[in-house]
Amino acid sequence: MSPENKHRLSRAAATAAVLAAVSFSLPARAVSDSSSATSEPSAPGTLVAQALAYEHGEGVPKDQRKAALLYCEAARAGDVEAMVGLGWMYANGRGVAHSDAMAAFLFARAADAGHAYAREMQKHVGDDVGSVPDCMRPAETDPPVALMDDSPDPFADLSAGKRKIADLVVKAAPQFKVDPRLALAIIATESNFQPEAQSPKDARGLMQLMSATAARFKVRNRLDIKDNVQGGLAYLRWLLAYYEGRVTLTVAAYNAGEAAVDKYSGVPPYAETRDYVRRVRRLFPDERHSFDPRVAGPSPILGRSTADSSKGAP
């Protein structure tokens, strides 16, 4: 039996024992509000026990999104088992978008603490490049951003034709380290899942690629579904790296171009772009996204103040 399967079995078997050893009660929100004066943060061991329960459906309905949130809070507090649990979820795309880079970061931290399974998993996910899950980042001027959104899936009731396209996107997006929900939000806003869509400015296809963008990302046929999606995903991956995972700036640049976003140090004052950002963000409310810093250097506006870099956000 492989080390991974052994570890998964041991984690599942340990769930009941861990739950018996701690008092189990889920906080009102999946992640505790550490700024609240009336509630104390849960101990990391309790959070890990809760995460295990939700991950495997032991005594509670199975909910891998909640499991990921709980693991991440415990990992932020330094719990090694939580790092391994969340790393496994990122490596396998369970409850969070698949990301070997995120998994590598978590396994590296756990391996540094002497965790044998984490050292083994490092062989499968690659080197740590510093891709830190948002919920583990130090607090900035804004409140911590939730790892996953618990709102209803806006793409759950697509027609058969749109569902076929969505399935292709869900399969392709992780190859570009893009959350499928973000890609689907872009497609829904750009073309409403119409492969033959064409704008007055000659943007074409599902992800409405301009000819220059298509050439930049080696798209041969903008009206070919697979070619168009891969080109759009490649552009999103580049923009996410350029804006270091800031979704609002990424989305604004997808619509107006990164030159316009850099010029205005934020969302340009164009009615079309501001409306576009609102529409996409309604479908994908997360403000932070993982990114690969090797894809592109950071935008020059990220070196300015937080107030400047967010100026013009809708």
Query: Does some domain include residue 80?
Result: yes
Exposure of 145 by Cβ count < 10 A (0-12 exposed, 13-18 middle, 19+ buried)? middle
Query: Does some domain include residue 33?
Result: yes
pLDDT for the residue 26? 35
Task: Mark which of 89, 120, 136 sits at the end of a domain.
Answer: 136
Tokens of 86: 């969340």
The boundaries of the domain holding residue 22 are: 3-136
pLDDT for the residue 195? 93
Which residue out of 58, 190, 244, 272 is catalytically annotated?
Answer: 190
pLDDT for the residue 151? 55
**Average pLDDT of adjacent 10-residue blocks, the chain of 314 residues:** 48 40 33 34 78 90 88 87 92 86 88 90 83 61 37 77 93 94 95 92 93 94 95 97 95 95 92 93 91 93 52 44
Question: Nearest CA to 49 among 88, 76, 78, 12?
Answer: 12
Total domains, the chain: 2
Going by C-beta distance under 8 Å and a sequence separation of 6 or more, which residues neighbour residue 32? 39, 41, 42, 73
Query: Does some domain include residue 146?
Result: no
Query: Does some domain include residue 147?
Result: no
Q: Are residues 123 and 198 in the same domain?
A: no
Whose structure tokens read 């689907």?
A: 184
Task: Mark which of 101, 136, 171 sits at the end of a domain.
Answer: 136
Query: Does some domain include residue 314?
Result: no
pLDDT for the residue 172? 94
CATH code of the domain covering residue 301: 1.10.530.10
CB 112 within 8 A of CB 104: no
Q: Are residues 116 and 39 in the same domain?
A: yes
Question: Nearest CA to 80 among 50, 105, 124, 114?
Answer: 114
Active site residue 196: no
Query: Does some domain include residue 154?
Result: no
CATH code of the domain covering residue 41: 1.25.40.10
Q: Can you tell me the distance from the alpha carbon of 59 to that of 57, in angstroms, rounded to the nearest whole number?
A: 6
Whose structure tokens read 């709102």?
A: 151
